[in-house]
């Protein structure tokens, strides 16, 4: 029988101890939840942040773009370094004072794709063909994390080597 293996670390937290178990899954059993970066590890900005703060988050995190959330933690868009720099570029150069006048909501990309954590591996793969990452949301739009192209490619690589090994 052919198996695609995915290693999942399940941390079981008790008051005094933590243990780790390992579980293997077939490729068709893998869901977005198995591969996503959870919300607490995702750099993000809020809708009403000034652009100055957004640029700081993007610069310090090193990411090109990050999700934008509303005060309820619902996904409302993404913001990128390119969009910010484009907004503050005037005729005679960069007008940095605009960074404190404009808000993230003024310039962010609003039409962004999302996926749910129960979506299949292949649906996750399709979602990152044209985007470097896709946000993961629940049925009500609450932000749960991101699925990156890297996570999908790492899984494809694992599948490739598994097949090589099997001959």
What does each C-alpha distance from 93 to 59, 89, 148 come to in angstroms? 20, 6, 34
- DSSP helix/strand/coil, 155: helix
Binders in 128-157 for ligand 4BW, by CB under 6 A = 132-133, 146, 148-150
Residue 13 near ligand 4BW by CB under 6 A: no
Structure tokens at 41: 């590890």
Of positions 14, 15, 17, 41, contacts ligand 4BW by CB under 6 A? 41
| Binding residue for ligand 4BW, selected from 6, 54, 55, 65, defined by CB under 6 A | 65
- Nearest 5°: CA angle at 155, between 132 and 28? 110
Is there binding between residue 113 and ligand 4BW (CB under 6 A)? no
The single residue among 34, 63, 125, 138 that binds ligand 4BW, judged by CB under 6 A, is 63
Element housing 151 (H / E) = helix 149-166
**Shortest distance (Å) from residue 146 CB to ligand 4BW:** 6
Backbone angles phi, psi at 134, to 5 degrees: -130, 140
Residues of this chain that interact with ligand 4BW (CB under 6 A) are 37, 41-43, 62-66, 132-133, 146, 148-150
């Amino acid at each position: 029988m052919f198996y695609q293996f995915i290693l999942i670390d399940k941390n079981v937290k008790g008051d005094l101890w933590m243990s780790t178990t390992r579980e293997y899954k077939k490729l068709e059993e893998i869901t977005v939840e198995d591969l996503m970066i959870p919300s607490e590890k995702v750099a993000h900005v809020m809708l009403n942040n000034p652009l100055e703060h957004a640029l700081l988050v993007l610069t310090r995190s090193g990411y090109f773009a990050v999700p934008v959330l509303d005060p309820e933690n619902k996904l409302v868009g993404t913001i990128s370094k390119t969009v910010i720099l484009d907004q503050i570029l005037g005729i005679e150069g960069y007008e940095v004072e605009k960074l404190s006048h404009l808000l993230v909501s003024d310039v962010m990309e609003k039409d962004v794709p999302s996926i749910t954590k129960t979506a299949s591996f292949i649906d996750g793969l399709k979602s990152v063909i044209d985007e470097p990452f896709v946000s993961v949301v629940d049925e009500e739009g609450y932000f749960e994390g991101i699925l990156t192209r890297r996570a999908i490619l790492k899984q494809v690589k694992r599948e490739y080597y598994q097949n090589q090994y099997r001959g």
